[in-house]
């Protein structure tokens, strides 16, 4: 539930930048994309470019019509917040 979600600053997001531990932020929400990587229609390599970082710009420039919010809802881990 929402009460379990974390507040995640960029320095923490950055630790999850591996193929087997990949988080990414889109529109202020942080998702664990690890299990989605293999299913991405645009390929693993492209998706891994945003592992450990805010992928909003790349995501929007490639497919603004894709509803990531709905697709990745089960993978939501928290919200991107400024560095404390």
Compare residues 55 and 78 and give the one whose CB is closer to ligand HEM: 55
Minimal distance, residue 57 CB to ligand HEM, in Å:
9
Quick count: other Cβ atoms within 10 Å of Cβ 11? Answer: 9
Size of the site for ligand HEM (CB under 6 A): 18
Are the beta carbons of 23 and 77 closer than 8 angstroms? Answer: yes
Rounded Cα–Cα distance for residues 66 and 47 (Å): 14
For β-strands 17-18 and 21-26, DSSP reports them as antiparallel
Compare residues 9 and 46 and give the one whose CB is closer to ligand HEM: 46
Rounded Cα–Cα distance for residues 81 and 5 (Å): 12
Touching ligand HEM, residues 22-81 (CB under 6 A): 33, 36, 40-42, 46-47, 49-50, 55, 58-59, 62-63, 66, 68, 71-72
Residues forming contacts to ligand HEM in the complex (CB under 6 A) are 33, 36, 40-42, 46-47, 49-50, 55, 58-59, 62-63, 66, 68, 71-72
């Amino acid at each position: 539930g929402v009460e379990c979600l974390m507040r995640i600053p960029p320095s923490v997001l950055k630790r999850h930048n591996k193929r087997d531990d990949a988080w990414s932020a889109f529109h202020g929400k942080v998702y664990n994309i690890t299990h989605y990587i293999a299913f991405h229609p645009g390929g693993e390599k492209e998706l891994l470019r945003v592992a450990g970082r805010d992928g909003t710009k790349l995501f929007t420039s490639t497919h603004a019509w894709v509803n990531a919010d709905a697709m990745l809802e089960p993978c939501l881990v928290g919200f991107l917040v400024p560095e404390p």
